[in-house]
Chains A and B, each alone.
Chain A
Amino acid sequence: MKEERFSKLGFILSGLGMAIGTGNIWRFPRVITQNGGGAFIIPWLIFLFIWCLPLLAIEIAIGRNFRKGVLSSFKEGMGERYTWLGAFVAWVSTAILFYYSVVVGWCIKYILATIFNYKELSNSQSFWLSFTSGYQPLLFNALSLLIGGLVIIAGVSSGIEKVNKILIPSLFIILIGGVIRSFTLPGAIKGFDFLFSPNFSLLKDYNVWLNALSQAAWSTGAGWGLILTYAVYMSKREDTIFTASTITFGDYSASILAGMTVVPTLFYVLGLNEKALSDILKKSNQGLTFISIPSLFQKLPMGQIALLIFFVALFFAAFTSLLSLIELPTRILIDAGLSRRKAVIFVLIVSFIAGIPSAISMKFFNNQDWTWGVALIVSGFFFSLFVIKFGTEKFRKELIEKTSKIKLGRFFDIVVKYLIPFQFTVLLIWWFYQSVKWEKWSRVFGEYSLLSVVLQWLIFGFIFFLFNKILSEKVAK
């Protein structure tokens, strides 16, 4: 069966759907305020050019050239011996799918709760605990996978493109409306001031730089293999660099809009209390989103509508990213010879089963989020290895510059050969150092322990390395 292709606008909006996710809505406002507001923006913008944009361009170039999923692309681009690297990249994103669908399920639950059980949300802590300690997350996880699976089964233009064409513009409209609303709240201007007044002395703090790089890497989805998978279906007429920059700048714009909506609103509700704001922001992403925000938004005028709009926006962002996470393993199975329908059904069943531990245990969820979240930095590094093995100059000239009006020149070579490996190394050491501070490193079943992370990476990496030949012959056809 012949696969469809994205229209130009369809690919851009689907790429934005892939990139804009919970990292923009629930993580960015928290991270920017914890890292000095305006000062954080400077390194965050720098990393746009030396991590996000080059990696997205690399992925798009690979996808449109080889017209195959992650595994087969690594096999064809690097040689059969390196198929296991592609398998690791694909596995990291698939492991994220297993718990990300749980988050989409939470969003559905909170949309329904805001409509039908709004008063119960006033005691948001007990509401969250009672919800996550029961079996409801399993049902909502199944629901989110089912809806996502139906879209993917419908195909590229009738499913993925159609949904993104509706949800992404709607998300931007909601975010712009949110900024206008927050701007009109009394005292919210103080929030804008807090968000954008730069304290340049903070630029001497290496933590600000590393948090900015982490946010850039996690939020744009660069180096995850997701945009590579979508690029398999992109039109031949599209410009690789312009498309990559649209996705990157669009993702950054969505983050700024989310920050301008959430932070001033929190300032208003908390009565300009920076200490209270700081305490709330110290909570985890889930703690801020599903515990603090429901109770704080109830203090807003027309709080129920504001909360509903917030969770709808979060759902749109998360769901459009979920689609790309489902499509990635689906494409690999299609490459292996399965029909789209059979591939999706297989992916959904495995995802549901593998997602059960994350759906019923927050400790397991946090462990997986941490383990595979950090592994994404490894995936990004593997893409730079891909280009180096292929031949950096050859890759730039034949795969990127032939499909773009922009000539990147030696800057691209320097980024791929030196800057991406350097950022990967520094970031990995820093995050490992953070985890040792949070929890004893040697706890095998620890939530954030170093040993748990490294063991899981090594186990899966070793399995893929061991079965490289089988992967190369049977799966990456």
Chain B
Amino acid sequence: MSKEGIIFLIITLAICFGGFALSIYLSMKTNIEEKFEEKEGFSKED
């Protein structure tokens, strides 16, 4: 595999999987304190 190909492979994987892993981590970690009214017809469990 060419040197350029290896570098490009690493960059692509870093962006896609790095972005994916970071987004999952931040999504799971972050809790939003939302202040809008509870709409009708939904459970209020959460």
Contact = CB atoms under 8 A, between A and B. Distances in A.
Contact of A197 (B8, B26, B42): B8
B32 A403 contact: yes
Contacts of A38: 4-5, 8, 12
Given A5-B43, A196-B9, A249 B30 contact: no
Interface string B13-28: 1011101100110111
A405 B42 contact: no
B23 A402 contact: no
Interface size bracket, B side: 20 to 34
Contact of A237 (B2, B26, B32, B41): B32
A253 B39 contact: no
Contacts of A5: 42-43, 45-46
A3 interface: yes
Interface in A388-417: 402-405
Contacts of B32: 236-239, 403-405
A262 to B, nearest CB: 16
Interface residues of A, number: 38
B24 A403 contact: no
Contacts of A246: 20, 23-24, 27
Contacts of A197: 1-2, 4-5, 8
Given A5-B46, A198-B4, A249 B41 contact: no
- Closest 4 pairs (CB-CB, A-B): A249-B19, A246-B23, A197-B5, A249-B20
Interface of B: 1-2, 4-6, 8-9, 12-13, 15-17, 19-20, 23-24, 26-28, 30-32, 34-36, 39, 41-43, 45-46
Interface of A: 2-5, 8-9, 12, 38, 41, 45, 65, 67, 189, 192-193, 196-198, 233, 235-239, 242-243, 245-246, 248-250, 252-253, 256, 402-405
